[in-house]
Amino acid sequence: MDALPGVLHQRAQGTLHLSFKRRGATVLDGLRQEGCLKARFPRIEHGAWAGAVTLNSSGGVASGDALNIAVTAGPGTRATVASQAAERFYRALPGTPPARVSTVLNVAPGAALEWLPQESILFDRCAVRRRLSVDLEGDAWFLGVEQIVFGRTAMGEAVREAGFRDLIEVRRDGRLLLHDAIRLDGPVQAVLDRPAAGGGARAVATLVHAAGDAEQKLDALRDALAGQEAGASAWNGLLVARIVATDGACLRAAVMAGLGALRAARPLPRVWFC
């Protein structure tokens, strides 16, 4: 259904600020939640880090929505932030601005933060501008994943056209380590079908790990991703892997295998299995 002239559509606005501090163990230091963005704090499982689960009560992201998340891990903390479920980015109405999603992660010296949202599911003709900025200080440790699914294949969906721009930036002490940009405007499915782009893939993921020993984990990650359509590289204390798959289920299996190689024996957040 197209937008009617002069009709203003209700749009979701959400702000979520989380911070953690160390008080014997890692505990919540600050929480600010406005609009559709919320955070919940499930019981910590044995062997897991303290953390939070984010949720978007609007039920999905439409054109014109604006979501802003900021997470700060204070000195010496260990925290994992996951999302309650896969996020859906719906078709944009003609003439409406794109949805904008901004996430800023700050990790203090001696701290470790995991950013483990579940999949982002894109719908045909969606319009999205998304940015993830990671600022590390000193010897801060970081592990993050972003998963993008181009339509639910089990539902017969396809993303033939879209306006999708995604940016991941990682800095340590202000120095840029990674600038990873994806721009898919127009015939998305045709681009993904190209052998040099997706080779027919309908789901992609990026794993990013920044740590003093990140390069030493490269072989273990490659072994975990053996048999998958994936590649990994490491340099200057940074490890990056890209995974492509035919659908979201295959992508998730590969991502979980990759995370297993980087997270030792810590359990994945329970919401990943719901």
| pLDDT tens digits in sequence order for the chain, 274 residues long | 455 555 566 789 999 999 999 999 999 999 999 999 999 999 999 999 999 999 999 989 999 999 999 999 999 999 999 999 999 999 998 889 999 999 999 999 999 999 999 999 999 999 999 999 999 999 999 999 999 999 888 788 889 999 999 999 999 999 999 999 999 999 999 999 998 888 888 999 999 999 999 999 999 999 999 999 999 999 999 999 999 999 999 999 999 999 999 998 899 999 999 8
Q: For residues 241 and 18, give the distance between their C-alpha atoms in angstroms, rounded to a whole number.
A: 27
DSSP code, position 191 = H
| Residue-range definition of the domain harbouring residue 171 | 14-273
Please check whether residue 4 lies inside any domain of the structure.
Answer: no
Q: Which amino acid is at 103?
A: T
Cα distance from N-terminal residue to C-terminal residue, the chain: 33
Overall domain count for the chain: 1
253 domain residue, yes or no: yes
Cβ–Cβ contacts within 10 Å for residue 7, how many?
7
Task: Determine, yes or no, domain membership for 2.
Answer: no
Does residue 185 belong to any structural domain of this protein? yes
Does residue 5 fall inside a structural domain?
no
| Strands 120-122 vs 87-89: parallel, antiparallel or unpaired | parallel
Instruction: Note the pLDDT of residue 173.
Output: 98
Quick one: pLDDT at residue 210? 98
Asked whether residue 164 is assigned to any structural domain, the reply reads yes
In a domain, 9, yes or no: no
Residue 9 is given by DSSP the state P
Nearest to 154 by CA among 243, 247, 229, 90: 247
Distance of CA 51 to the CA centre of its chain: 16
Give strand ranges (E) for the chain: 13-23, 25-35, 37-40, 50-56, 66-73, 78-83, 87-89, 99-107, 112-116, 120-122, 127-136, 141-150, 162-172, 175-186, 203-210, 229-235, 238-245
Prediction pTM value? 0.94
- Please report the pLDDT score of residue 1 as a whole number: 45
| Residue 263 tokens, joined | 């997270």
The whole-number pLDDT of residue 157 equals 86
Q: Is residue 160 part of a domain?
A: yes
